[in-house]
Chains A and B, each alone.
Chain A
Amino acid sequence: MADAPVQPQRPLSRRGLERLDLLLLSAEALDLNGGEAMVWLSEEMGLTDLFPNRVELWKRRCSNPLRRTTRRDRITEAEADGLIRILNALADRLYPMLRSLLSSAEPPQLSEQRWALFRGRLQELLKERFNPRRSGVQRLLDPQEGPQLCRELIQTMALSAGPVGFTRLKASLMDAAV
Protein backbone atom coordinates (compact mmCIF):
# COMPACT_ATOMS: atom_id res chain seq x y z
CA MET A 1 0.00 0.00 0.00
CA ALA A 2 1.35 3.42 -0.88
CA ASP A 3 1.74 6.30 1.54
CA ALA A 4 -0.80 9.07 1.35
CA PRO A 5 0.32 11.50 -1.34
CA VAL A 6 1.53 14.87 -0.21
CA GLN A 7 -0.93 17.67 -0.84
CA PRO A 8 0.15 21.26 -1.13
CA GLN A 9 -0.69 23.07 2.09
CA ARG A 10 -2.83 26.05 1.25
CA PRO A 11 -6.44 27.01 1.84
CA LEU A 12 -9.11 26.45 -0.78
CA SER A 13 -9.67 29.18 -3.33
CA ARG A 14 -12.99 30.93 -3.66
CA ARG A 15 -13.82 28.73 -6.65
CA GLY A 16 -12.85 25.60 -4.70
CA LEU A 17 -15.18 26.59 -1.85
CA GLU A 18 -18.02 27.20 -4.28
CA ARG A 19 -17.60 23.76 -5.83
CA LEU A 20 -17.29 21.99 -2.48
CA ASP A 21 -20.50 23.55 -1.16
CA LEU A 22 -22.30 22.81 -4.45
CA LEU A 23 -21.27 19.16 -4.18
CA LEU A 24 -22.57 19.01 -0.60
CA LEU A 25 -25.81 20.59 -1.82
CA SER A 26 -26.02 17.91 -4.55
CA ALA A 27 -25.73 15.25 -1.85
CA GLU A 28 -28.66 16.89 -0.08
CA ALA A 29 -30.61 16.92 -3.35
CA LEU A 30 -30.03 13.17 -3.76
CA ASP A 31 -30.85 12.30 -0.17
CA LEU A 32 -33.67 14.08 1.62
CA ASN A 33 -31.91 13.40 4.92
CA GLY A 34 -28.56 14.57 3.54
CA GLY A 35 -28.32 17.47 5.99
CA GLU A 36 -28.81 15.15 8.96
CA ALA A 37 -26.46 12.57 7.45
CA MET A 38 -23.70 15.20 7.30
CA VAL A 39 -24.07 15.88 11.03
CA TRP A 40 -23.90 12.26 12.12
CA LEU A 41 -21.17 11.37 9.62
CA SER A 42 -19.14 14.25 11.06
CA GLU A 43 -19.63 12.79 14.56
CA GLU A 44 -18.89 9.26 13.39
CA MET A 45 -15.66 10.39 11.70
CA GLY A 46 -14.51 12.18 14.85
CA LEU A 47 -14.79 15.68 13.40
CA THR A 48 -16.64 17.12 16.41
CA ASP A 49 -13.61 19.32 17.28
CA LEU A 50 -13.99 21.05 13.92
CA PHE A 51 -17.78 21.03 13.74
CA PRO A 52 -19.16 20.72 17.31
CA ASN A 53 -22.79 21.04 16.18
CA ARG A 54 -24.97 21.49 13.09
CA VAL A 55 -24.86 25.28 13.35
CA GLU A 56 -21.06 25.33 13.15
CA LEU A 57 -21.16 22.92 10.20
CA TRP A 58 -23.68 25.17 8.46
CA LYS A 59 -21.58 28.28 9.21
CA ARG A 60 -18.51 26.72 7.58
CA ARG A 61 -20.54 25.93 4.46
CA CYS A 62 -21.73 29.54 4.40
CA SER A 63 -18.22 30.76 3.55
CA ASN A 64 -19.27 29.92 0.00
CA PRO A 65 -19.54 33.30 -1.77
CA LEU A 66 -22.50 32.04 -3.85
CA ARG A 67 -24.74 31.78 -0.75
CA ARG A 68 -27.52 34.27 -0.03
CA THR A 69 -26.11 34.87 3.43
CA THR A 70 -22.39 34.47 2.98
CA ARG A 71 -19.84 34.74 5.80
CA ARG A 72 -16.71 36.74 5.31
CA ASP A 73 -14.41 34.69 7.55
CA ARG A 74 -12.24 32.31 5.52
CA ILE A 75 -12.49 28.60 6.15
CA THR A 76 -9.29 26.99 7.49
CA GLU A 77 -7.55 24.14 5.72
CA ALA A 78 -8.54 21.67 8.47
CA GLU A 79 -12.19 22.70 8.16
CA ALA A 80 -12.11 22.37 4.36
CA ASP A 81 -10.51 18.92 4.72
CA GLY A 82 -13.26 17.95 7.17
CA LEU A 83 -15.97 19.02 4.71
CA ILE A 84 -14.26 17.11 1.87
CA ARG A 85 -14.10 13.95 4.02
CA ILE A 86 -17.79 14.30 4.86
CA LEU A 87 -18.56 14.64 1.14
CA ASN A 88 -16.46 11.54 0.29
CA ALA A 89 -18.35 9.55 2.93
CA LEU A 90 -21.72 10.81 1.68
CA ALA A 91 -20.79 9.93 -1.91
CA ASP A 92 -19.75 6.46 -0.74
CA ARG A 93 -23.20 5.92 0.82
CA LEU A 94 -24.98 7.37 -2.21
CA TYR A 95 -22.82 5.51 -4.75
CA PRO A 96 -25.59 3.16 -6.02
CA MET A 97 -27.71 6.22 -6.79
CA LEU A 98 -24.82 8.08 -8.45
CA ARG A 99 -24.04 5.02 -10.53
CA SER A 100 -27.60 4.58 -11.74
CA LEU A 101 -27.66 8.22 -12.85
CA LEU A 102 -24.41 7.84 -14.80
CA SER A 103 -25.09 4.43 -16.34
CA SER A 104 -26.00 4.24 -20.02
CA ALA A 105 -27.42 0.73 -19.48
CA GLU A 106 -30.47 2.04 -17.61
CA PRO A 107 -33.75 2.43 -19.57
CA PRO A 108 -33.60 5.97 -21.04
CA GLN A 109 -37.04 6.96 -19.77
CA LEU A 110 -36.26 5.90 -16.19
CA SER A 111 -32.89 7.59 -16.36
CA GLU A 112 -34.46 10.84 -17.56
CA GLN A 113 -37.01 10.72 -14.71
CA ARG A 114 -34.20 10.28 -12.17
CA TRP A 115 -32.24 13.19 -13.63
CA ALA A 116 -35.35 15.38 -13.66
CA LEU A 117 -35.99 14.56 -10.00
CA PHE A 118 -32.40 15.34 -9.02
CA ARG A 119 -32.26 18.57 -11.03
CA GLY A 120 -35.62 19.68 -9.63
CA ARG A 121 -34.50 19.17 -6.04
CA LEU A 122 -31.15 20.84 -6.65
CA GLN A 123 -32.85 23.84 -8.23
CA GLU A 124 -35.21 24.16 -5.24
CA LEU A 125 -32.26 24.14 -2.85
CA LEU A 126 -30.35 26.61 -5.02
CA LYS A 127 -33.29 29.04 -5.13
CA GLU A 128 -33.76 28.73 -1.38
CA ARG A 129 -30.16 29.16 -0.24
CA PHE A 130 -28.07 30.65 -3.04
CA ASN A 131 -27.88 34.15 -4.46
CA PRO A 132 -29.74 34.03 -7.81
CA ARG A 133 -27.86 37.11 -9.07
CA ARG A 134 -24.57 35.20 -9.20
CA SER A 135 -23.67 33.96 -12.66
CA GLY A 136 -22.53 30.59 -11.24
CA VAL A 137 -26.03 30.03 -9.84
CA GLN A 138 -27.75 31.28 -13.00
CA ARG A 139 -25.75 28.83 -15.11
CA LEU A 140 -26.90 25.92 -12.93
CA LEU A 141 -30.53 27.07 -13.22
CA ASP A 142 -30.21 27.61 -16.98
CA PRO A 143 -32.21 24.98 -18.94
CA GLN A 144 -29.47 24.72 -21.62
CA GLU A 145 -26.32 24.71 -19.52
CA GLY A 146 -27.71 23.33 -16.21
CA PRO A 147 -28.08 19.63 -17.14
CA GLN A 148 -24.43 19.29 -18.21
CA LEU A 149 -23.22 21.04 -15.03
CA CYS A 150 -25.44 18.73 -12.94
CA ARG A 151 -23.90 15.71 -14.67
CA GLU A 152 -20.41 17.02 -13.86
CA LEU A 153 -21.39 17.32 -10.17
CA ILE A 154 -22.65 13.71 -10.08
CA GLN A 155 -19.60 12.40 -11.95
CA THR A 156 -17.30 14.22 -9.54
CA MET A 157 -19.06 12.63 -6.57
CA ALA A 158 -18.90 9.14 -8.15
CA LEU A 159 -15.17 9.42 -8.92
CA SER A 160 -14.31 10.73 -5.46
CA ALA A 161 -16.49 8.44 -3.35
CA GLY A 162 -14.78 6.76 -0.43
CA PRO A 163 -11.64 7.56 1.57
CA VAL A 164 -9.20 7.43 -1.39
CA GLY A 165 -11.37 9.97 -3.21
CA PHE A 166 -10.22 12.60 -0.70
CA THR A 167 -6.84 13.35 -2.33
CA ARG A 168 -8.35 13.27 -5.82
CA LEU A 169 -11.14 15.71 -4.97
CA LYS A 170 -8.92 17.98 -2.88
CA ALA A 171 -6.40 18.27 -5.72
CA SER A 172 -9.24 19.22 -8.07
CA LEU A 173 -10.64 21.82 -5.65
CA MET A 174 -7.17 23.38 -5.59
CA ASP A 175 -6.91 23.75 -9.38
CA ALA A 176 -5.58 27.03 -10.68
CA ALA A 177 -8.17 29.73 -11.35
CA VAL A 178 -9.07 30.00 -15.04
Chain B
Amino acid sequence: MAKKEVTHLIRNRRVFALTLFMPLLLMTIVGLAFTGEVKHITTVIVNEDGRPLSEAFVDMLKASDTLRIRFYANDETQAQALIRDGLAKVAIVIPATFEDDVRSSNAVIYVMVDGSDPVSAGAVTPVVQHIALGLTPKLRVQVERLVLYNPSLRYIDFIAPAIVGIFLQIFPMILISMAIAGERERGTIEQLIATPLSGFEILLGKLSVYMGFGFLSATSMLIVAVYAFDLVVRGSVALIAVFLAVFLTASLSLGTLVSAGSRTQMQAVQTVMPMIYIMIFLSGTFYPIEAMSPLVQPISYVLPLTYMIHALRAVIVKGAGLEVVTNDLIFLSAYTVVMIVSAVAVFRKKL
Protein backbone atom coordinates (compact mmCIF):
# COMPACT_ATOMS: atom_id res chain seq x y z
CA MET B 1 0.00 0.00 0.00
CA ALA B 2 2.72 2.47 0.98
CA LYS B 3 4.71 1.47 -2.08
CA LYS B 4 1.74 2.17 -4.33
CA GLU B 5 1.25 5.54 -2.65
CA VAL B 6 4.88 6.46 -3.23
CA THR B 7 4.47 5.48 -6.88
CA HIS B 8 1.44 7.77 -7.18
CA LEU B 9 3.43 10.56 -5.62
CA ILE B 10 6.43 10.17 -7.91
CA ARG B 11 4.34 9.79 -11.06
CA ASN B 12 2.45 12.96 -10.26
CA ARG B 13 5.42 15.19 -10.93
CA ARG B 14 3.76 18.39 -9.87
CA VAL B 15 2.84 17.08 -6.43
CA PHE B 16 6.23 15.43 -6.11
CA ALA B 17 8.01 18.68 -6.85
CA LEU B 18 5.67 20.46 -4.48
CA THR B 19 6.35 18.13 -1.56
CA LEU B 20 10.05 18.03 -2.24
CA PHE B 21 10.90 21.64 -2.98
CA MET B 22 8.13 23.61 -1.36
CA PRO B 23 9.40 23.25 2.23
CA LEU B 24 12.93 24.17 1.17
CA LEU B 25 11.73 27.07 -0.93
CA LEU B 26 9.45 28.37 1.77
CA MET B 27 12.06 28.23 4.51
CA THR B 28 14.72 29.81 2.31
CA ILE B 29 12.46 32.64 1.28
CA VAL B 30 11.26 33.37 4.77
CA GLY B 31 14.81 33.17 6.11
CA LEU B 32 16.15 35.53 3.50
CA ALA B 33 13.25 37.92 3.68
CA PHE B 34 12.93 38.16 7.43
CA THR B 35 16.51 38.69 8.40
CA GLY B 36 15.56 39.04 12.04
CA GLU B 37 16.58 42.65 12.32
CA VAL B 38 15.52 45.48 10.13
CA LYS B 39 18.40 46.73 8.04
CA HIS B 40 19.13 49.25 5.33
CA ILE B 41 16.26 51.60 5.97
CA THR B 42 16.45 54.41 3.48
CA THR B 43 17.24 57.53 5.41
CA VAL B 44 17.45 61.21 4.68
CA ILE B 45 19.71 63.41 6.80
CA VAL B 46 18.98 67.04 7.49
CA ASN B 47 22.04 68.54 9.04
CA GLU B 48 21.14 72.11 9.94
CA ASP B 49 24.18 72.49 12.13
CA GLY B 50 27.04 71.39 9.86
CA ARG B 51 29.77 71.84 12.46
CA PRO B 52 32.30 69.03 13.20
CA LEU B 53 30.33 67.44 16.00
CA SER B 54 27.24 67.12 13.86
CA GLU B 55 29.36 65.74 10.99
CA ALA B 56 30.82 63.16 13.36
CA PHE B 57 27.33 62.17 14.34
CA VAL B 58 26.36 61.76 10.69
CA ASP B 59 29.40 59.53 10.13
CA MET B 60 28.29 57.36 13.03
CA LEU B 61 24.83 57.11 11.55
CA LYS B 62 26.40 56.10 8.22
CA ALA B 63 28.29 53.31 9.93
CA SER B 64 25.03 51.76 11.09
CA ASP B 65 23.71 48.70 9.31
CA THR B 66 20.18 49.66 10.09
CA LEU B 67 20.25 52.91 8.18
CA ARG B 68 21.12 53.45 4.58
CA ILE B 69 21.69 57.13 4.11
CA ARG B 70 20.68 58.00 0.62
CA PHE B 71 19.76 61.67 0.79
CA TYR B 72 20.85 64.90 2.38
CA ALA B 73 18.16 67.51 2.57
CA ASN B 74 18.45 71.18 3.41
CA ASP B 75 15.42 71.39 5.63
CA GLU B 76 12.60 69.41 7.16
CA THR B 77 10.14 70.24 4.41
CA GLN B 78 12.41 68.71 1.80
CA ALA B 79 12.90 65.64 3.95
CA GLN B 80 9.17 65.28 4.47
CA ALA B 81 8.61 65.45 0.74
CA LEU B 82 11.08 62.62 0.21
CA ILE B 83 9.21 60.49 2.71
CA ARG B 84 5.84 61.36 1.27
CA ASP B 85 7.09 60.30 -2.16
CA GLY B 86 8.20 57.01 -0.70
CA LEU B 87 11.85 57.62 -1.50
CA ALA B 88 12.88 57.53 2.14
CA LYS B 89 11.42 55.92 5.22
CA VAL B 90 13.16 57.99 7.86
CA ALA B 91 14.45 61.50 8.24
CA ILE B 92 16.99 62.39 10.90
CA VAL B 93 17.09 66.09 11.64
CA ILE B 94 20.05 67.67 13.39
CA PRO B 95 19.04 71.16 14.56
CA ALA B 96 21.26 74.19 13.87
CA THR B 97 22.03 74.53 17.55
CA PHE B 98 23.10 70.91 17.92
CA GLU B 99 26.73 71.46 18.92
CA ASP B 100 25.79 74.16 21.44
CA ASP B 101 23.01 72.04 22.79
CA VAL B 102 25.33 69.13 23.28
CA ARG B 103 27.61 71.36 25.30
CA SER B 104 24.73 72.53 27.43
CA SER B 105 23.55 68.93 27.73
CA ASN B 106 20.27 69.77 26.15
CA ALA B 107 20.59 68.27 22.68
CA VAL B 108 17.60 67.05 20.72
CA ILE B 109 17.66 64.94 17.58
CA TYR B 110 14.45 64.72 15.62
CA VAL B 111 13.69 61.43 14.01
CA MET B 112 10.81 61.56 11.57
CA VAL B 113 9.52 58.21 10.48
CA ASP B 114 7.10 57.11 7.81
CA GLY B 115 4.15 56.12 9.89
CA SER B 116 2.70 53.94 7.18
CA ASP B 117 5.52 51.50 7.82
CA PRO B 118 5.48 50.77 11.55
CA VAL B 119 8.09 48.05 11.22
CA SER B 120 10.76 50.45 9.99
CA ALA B 121 9.58 53.19 12.28
CA GLY B 122 9.81 50.94 15.29
CA ALA B 123 13.28 49.72 14.39
CA VAL B 124 14.91 53.08 13.74
CA THR B 125 14.23 54.86 17.00
CA PRO B 126 16.22 52.63 19.37
CA VAL B 127 19.09 52.47 16.91
CA VAL B 128 19.35 56.24 16.65
CA GLN B 129 19.10 56.49 20.42
CA HIS B 130 21.94 54.02 20.76
CA ILE B 131 24.16 55.92 18.33
CA ALA B 132 23.41 59.19 20.07
CA LEU B 133 24.47 57.70 23.37
CA GLY B 134 27.69 56.58 21.73
CA LEU B 135 28.43 60.14 20.66
CA THR B 136 27.98 61.79 24.02
CA PRO B 137 27.87 59.18 26.70
CA LYS B 138 27.92 61.70 29.48
CA LEU B 139 25.16 63.83 28.05
CA ARG B 140 21.52 63.20 27.73
CA VAL B 141 20.31 63.09 24.16
CA GLN B 142 16.63 63.18 23.57
CA VAL B 143 15.28 61.59 20.42
CA GLU B 144 11.86 62.69 19.44
CA ARG B 145 9.71 60.89 17.01
CA LEU B 146 7.76 63.03 14.68
CA VAL B 147 5.35 60.82 12.91
CA LEU B 148 4.43 62.39 9.62
CA TYR B 149 1.47 60.32 8.71
CA ASN B 150 -0.64 57.92 10.60
CA PRO B 151 0.25 59.43 13.96
CA SER B 152 -1.22 56.54 15.88
CA LEU B 153 1.03 54.10 13.97
CA ARG B 154 -1.77 51.60 13.84
CA TYR B 155 -1.03 48.28 12.24
CA ILE B 156 -4.38 48.23 10.44
CA ASP B 157 -3.36 51.25 8.34
CA PHE B 158 -0.19 49.46 7.39
CA ILE B 159 -1.78 46.12 6.70
CA ALA B 160 -5.20 46.92 5.19
CA PRO B 161 -3.90 48.17 1.84
CA ALA B 162 -1.54 45.21 1.67
CA ILE B 163 -4.33 42.73 2.32
CA VAL B 164 -6.39 44.24 -0.48
CA GLY B 165 -3.38 43.85 -2.77
CA ILE B 166 -2.74 40.27 -1.69
CA PHE B 167 -6.36 39.32 -2.07
CA LEU B 168 -6.52 40.73 -5.56
CA GLN B 169 -3.35 38.91 -6.46
CA ILE B 170 -4.42 35.53 -5.19
CA PHE B 171 -8.14 34.93 -5.43
CA PRO B 172 -8.92 36.09 -8.95
CA MET B 173 -5.86 34.19 -10.14
CA ILE B 174 -6.96 30.97 -8.43
CA LEU B 175 -10.58 31.37 -9.48
CA ILE B 176 -9.90 31.96 -13.16
CA SER B 177 -7.28 29.24 -13.43
CA MET B 178 -9.69 26.82 -11.76
CA ALA B 179 -12.54 27.93 -13.99
CA ILE B 180 -10.55 27.30 -17.15
CA ALA B 181 -8.89 24.12 -15.92
CA GLY B 182 -12.34 23.01 -14.76
CA GLU B 183 -13.71 23.23 -18.30
CA ARG B 184 -10.86 21.02 -19.37
CA GLU B 185 -11.30 18.61 -16.48
CA ARG B 186 -15.03 18.17 -17.03
CA GLY B 187 -14.61 17.89 -20.77
CA THR B 188 -16.89 20.86 -21.41
CA ILE B 189 -14.06 22.61 -23.22
CA GLU B 190 -14.50 20.32 -26.22
CA GLN B 191 -18.15 21.25 -26.65
CA LEU B 192 -17.29 24.89 -26.06
CA ILE B 193 -14.54 25.18 -28.65
CA ALA B 194 -16.72 23.36 -31.15
CA THR B 195 -18.85 26.51 -31.16
CA PRO B 196 -18.10 29.57 -33.30
CA LEU B 197 -17.04 31.57 -30.22
CA SER B 198 -13.51 32.84 -30.61
CA GLY B 199 -10.88 32.12 -27.98
CA PHE B 200 -10.83 35.81 -27.17
CA GLU B 201 -14.59 35.86 -26.61
CA ILE B 202 -14.41 32.86 -24.31
CA LEU B 203 -11.59 34.48 -22.37
CA LEU B 204 -13.30 37.85 -22.27
CA GLY B 205 -16.49 36.28 -20.95
CA LYS B 206 -14.64 34.65 -18.12
CA LEU B 207 -12.37 37.62 -17.37
CA SER B 208 -15.20 40.14 -17.16
CA VAL B 209 -17.06 38.10 -14.56
CA TYR B 210 -14.04 37.61 -12.32
CA MET B 211 -13.07 41.23 -12.86
CA GLY B 212 -16.41 42.32 -11.46
CA PHE B 213 -16.05 39.87 -8.63
CA GLY B 214 -12.57 41.17 -7.79
CA PHE B 215 -13.79 44.76 -7.74
CA LEU B 216 -16.63 43.82 -5.46
CA SER B 217 -14.30 42.02 -3.04
CA ALA B 218 -11.78 44.85 -2.95
CA THR B 219 -14.51 47.41 -2.33
CA SER B 220 -16.09 45.38 0.44
CA MET B 221 -12.73 44.88 2.11
CA LEU B 222 -12.02 48.59 2.08
CA ILE B 223 -15.50 49.37 3.35
CA VAL B 224 -15.03 47.03 6.28
CA ALA B 225 -11.60 48.52 7.00
CA VAL B 226 -12.98 52.06 6.87
CA TYR B 227 -16.18 51.60 8.84
CA ALA B 228 -15.23 48.88 11.28
CA PHE B 229 -11.56 49.64 11.82
CA ASP B 230 -11.38 53.36 11.15
CA LEU B 231 -9.05 53.21 8.19
CA VAL B 232 -8.83 56.67 6.70
CA VAL B 233 -8.63 56.79 2.92
CA ARG B 234 -6.67 59.97 2.33
CA GLY B 235 -6.08 59.69 -1.40
CA SER B 236 -8.27 59.71 -4.46
CA VAL B 237 -10.78 56.90 -4.78
CA ALA B 238 -10.58 57.14 -8.57
CA LEU B 239 -6.84 56.56 -8.45
CA ILE B 240 -7.37 53.53 -6.22
CA ALA B 241 -9.90 52.21 -8.73
CA VAL B 242 -7.42 52.61 -11.57
CA PHE B 243 -4.86 50.56 -9.68
CA LEU B 244 -7.45 47.92 -8.82
CA ALA B 245 -8.47 47.58 -12.48
CA VAL B 246 -4.94 47.32 -13.81
CA PHE B 247 -3.83 44.92 -11.13
CA LEU B 248 -6.92 42.72 -11.43
CA THR B 249 -6.39 42.37 -15.16
CA ALA B 250 -2.81 41.35 -14.54
CA SER B 251 -3.62 38.73 -11.95
CA LEU B 252 -6.47 37.29 -14.02
CA SER B 253 -4.15 37.04 -17.01
CA LEU B 254 -1.58 35.29 -14.87
CA GLY B 255 -4.31 32.86 -13.80
CA THR B 256 -5.10 32.21 -17.45
CA LEU B 257 -1.44 31.46 -18.12
CA VAL B 258 -1.38 29.03 -15.19
CA SER B 259 -4.49 27.28 -16.49
CA ALA B 260 -2.85 26.78 -19.87
CA GLY B 261 -0.41 24.39 -18.25
CA SER B 262 -3.00 22.60 -16.13
CA ARG B 263 -5.35 19.84 -17.16
CA THR B 264 -7.21 19.72 -13.85
CA GLN B 265 -8.27 22.18 -11.18
CA MET B 266 -6.00 20.39 -8.75
CA GLN B 267 -3.00 21.01 -10.96
CA ALA B 268 -3.93 24.66 -11.31
CA VAL B 269 -4.05 25.10 -7.55
CA GLN B 270 -0.79 23.23 -7.12
CA THR B 271 0.89 25.58 -9.58
CA VAL B 272 -0.49 28.68 -7.91
CA MET B 273 0.52 27.72 -4.36
CA PRO B 274 4.29 28.30 -4.57
CA MET B 275 3.70 31.54 -6.47
CA ILE B 276 1.47 32.77 -3.68
CA TYR B 277 4.03 32.13 -0.97
CA ILE B 278 6.72 34.00 -2.84
CA MET B 279 4.41 36.91 -3.52
CA ILE B 280 3.17 37.28 0.03
CA PHE B 281 6.53 37.06 1.73
CA LEU B 282 8.58 39.06 -0.72
CA SER B 283 6.23 41.87 -1.64
CA GLY B 284 6.93 43.95 1.44
CA THR B 285 3.55 43.17 2.90
CA PHE B 286 4.72 42.45 6.40
CA TYR B 287 8.33 43.46 6.26
CA PRO B 288 10.15 46.27 4.45
CA ILE B 289 11.93 45.14 1.30
CA GLU B 290 14.96 47.28 2.14
CA ALA B 291 15.49 45.11 5.18
CA MET B 292 15.54 41.86 3.22
CA SER B 293 18.63 40.02 2.10
CA PRO B 294 20.03 41.42 -1.16
CA LEU B 295 19.60 37.89 -2.55
CA VAL B 296 15.83 38.13 -2.60
CA GLN B 297 15.40 41.84 -3.16
CA PRO B 298 15.58 41.53 -6.96
CA ILE B 299 12.65 39.10 -6.77
CA SER B 300 10.71 41.62 -4.73
CA TYR B 301 11.28 44.27 -7.32
CA VAL B 302 9.84 42.20 -10.17
CA LEU B 303 6.72 41.19 -8.24
CA PRO B 304 3.75 43.29 -9.30
CA LEU B 305 2.32 42.93 -5.81
CA THR B 306 5.27 44.97 -4.47
CA TYR B 307 4.26 47.93 -6.62
CA MET B 308 0.58 47.45 -5.96
CA ILE B 309 1.07 47.47 -2.19
CA HIS B 310 3.42 50.42 -2.36
CA ALA B 311 0.91 52.37 -4.40
CA LEU B 312 -2.09 51.44 -2.28
CA ARG B 313 -0.29 52.38 0.92
CA ALA B 314 0.84 55.66 -0.58
CA VAL B 315 -2.60 56.58 -1.87
CA ILE B 316 -4.70 55.29 1.00
CA VAL B 317 -2.53 56.08 4.01
CA LYS B 318 -0.51 59.06 2.83
CA GLY B 319 -3.01 60.52 0.42
CA ALA B 320 -0.44 60.49 -2.35
CA GLY B 321 -1.44 61.68 -5.80
CA LEU B 322 -0.67 60.27 -9.22
CA GLU B 323 2.72 61.99 -9.35
CA VAL B 324 3.94 59.89 -6.43
CA VAL B 325 2.77 56.53 -7.75
CA THR B 326 3.53 57.11 -11.43
CA ASN B 327 6.35 54.59 -11.39
CA ASP B 328 4.12 51.96 -9.82
CA LEU B 329 1.44 52.61 -12.39
CA ILE B 330 3.88 52.40 -15.26
CA PHE B 331 5.37 49.16 -14.02
CA LEU B 332 1.96 47.60 -13.33
CA SER B 333 0.55 48.69 -16.69
CA ALA B 334 3.53 47.32 -18.59
CA TYR B 335 3.30 44.07 -16.65
CA THR B 336 -0.44 43.86 -17.31
CA VAL B 337 0.00 44.36 -21.04
CA VAL B 338 2.61 41.61 -21.18
CA MET B 339 0.37 39.30 -19.16
CA ILE B 340 -2.79 39.83 -21.16
CA VAL B 341 -1.02 39.47 -24.48
CA SER B 342 0.55 36.19 -23.33
CA ALA B 343 -2.75 35.00 -21.91
CA VAL B 344 -4.62 35.59 -25.16
CA ALA B 345 -1.78 33.99 -27.10
CA VAL B 346 -1.73 30.95 -24.86
CA PHE B 347 -5.49 30.47 -24.67
CA ARG B 348 -5.76 28.93 -28.11
CA LYS B 349 -9.05 27.55 -29.17
CA LYS B 350 -7.76 24.07 -29.91
CA LEU B 351 -7.81 20.80 -28.09
| Pair from one complex | no
What residues of chain B have their CB less than 8 Å away from a CB belonging to chain A? none
What residues of chain A have their CB less than 8 Å away from a CB belonging to chain B? none
